[in-house]
Amino acid sequence: MDVAEVKSSNPQPTVHGGGGDTLPAVRFSNEDILFCIDVGRETLAEMKVNGPNGRPYTRLDSIKQAIMLFVHSKLTINPDHRFAFSALGKSTYWLRKEFSSEVDAALSALRGLSVDSSSSHADLTQLFKVATHEAKKSRAQNRIFRVILIYCRSSRPPQSQLPSTLKLFTLDVMYLHDKPGPDNCPQVVYDTLVDALERISEFEGYIFESGQGLARALFRNMCQLLCHPQQRCIQDELDLPMSLVKKSPAADASQGDENTVVSIQ
């Protein structure tokens, strides 16, 4: 299969983390970000901490909250970024096709999420095809396109055919999985996702995984995904969040924050 590669005209991500070259005066584009959220039955797995009403807090619950954290934060950083939403059962379908920078649009798209228990294997071909098509539109408006895939299946790596044109958009992945065991293969899934990311992503794509069931870790990873693709360093050099602890008196090690994920009423 002939695959065309679009060479990015943007500078390569910097390798060293020193301050001097963090902010070169280059063109900067606002983002169109397409979320693709796994709705297979493994999203019903429970996280380690109960939700606000003492009800079980599932992966899907934490994903929704993590996405709202991302959207709110991203819009505080820059109100011109936009978001659209899709879900992944066996293949991908739209939750909200029009890109919007309104928080309410994100909220109502996430309300449309429902678990599809029948799907066990997933195919990302359609997602990549749609993203390639949408990315062309964004690029025509001097925006950049990004897909954030949130994947939750521990036993089946996703299948995909590569789109005919590569590197038109950035691909990030958040992978939530069970602990490795005899009946599953999260490492294989992870490696498949890394492979897709490396072939497809225009700018440095980031992939994070979490098997501990801690919402706090998921939220931290989502904040790391806030990094603007045109300003990223390579993932191996990513040293965030930066610890703000002074060298002198001992910092306060307050207990409450380890599993803190609650709504304030």
Partner 1 sequence: MAIDTVPPLISAQINYLIGHCPFSVKVEQMWSGCKNPNLLDRFTLVIPYCLDHVKWDVIFNAMYPLAAPDVIFGPEDEGFQPYASGTGQPSKNSLANWNSRDPSRLYSLIVELRDAYMAFQRRRISEIDDERVKFEFSTMISREGIEMYMSLGTDKPEEVKFAVPLLDIDLNKLVAGCTWRHPQKVYLQVIFPVGKKYSSVPPPPRLKLISSPELKALLSTEDFKLPTWVDGMCTAEYLPNLEQMLNTQIKDAVSSIEIRRKFIQSLAPHLGRPIEADPVFCRRATFLCSSGLFTFQVHCALSLQFPKQQPALVLQSSQHFNAHGAPVKSPTLSEYPWSPRWNSSEKADRIFDFLADEALNFKKNCNQLNQQ
Q: Name the site residues for partner 1 (rule: CB under 8 A).
A: 17-28, 65, 68-69, 72-73, 76-78, 103, 107, 142, 216, 219-220, 222-224, 226-228, 231, 233, 239-246, 251-254, 256-258, 260-265
| C-beta separation of 28 from 203 below 8 A | no
In the complex with partner 1, the residue whose CB is nearer, 61 or 134, is 61
Tokens of 247: 């060298």
The CB-of-102 to partner 1 minimum distance in angstroms stands at: 13
In the complex with partner 1, the residue whose CB is nearer, 183 or 239, is 239
Element (H, E) at 40: none
The CB-of-94 to partner 1 minimum distance in angstroms stands at: 19
The CB-of-238 to partner 1 minimum distance in angstroms stands at: 8
Question: Within 10 Å of residue 192's Cβ, how many Cβ atoms?
Answer: 18
In the complex with partner 1, the residue whose CB is nearer, 42 or 172, is 172
Element (H, E) at 69: helix 59-77
181 Cβ contact partners less than 8 Å away, ≥ 6 residues apart:
none
The CB-of-138 to partner 1 minimum distance in angstroms stands at: 14
Sheet of 207-210: strands edge to edge?
Answer: 92-100, 82-88, 31-38, 144-151, 170-176, 207-210
SS3 state at 193:
helix
The CB-of-21 to partner 1 minimum distance in angstroms stands at: 8
In the complex with partner 1, the residue whose CB is nearer, 4 or 23, is 23
In the complex with partner 1, the residue whose CB is nearer, 188 or 214, is 214
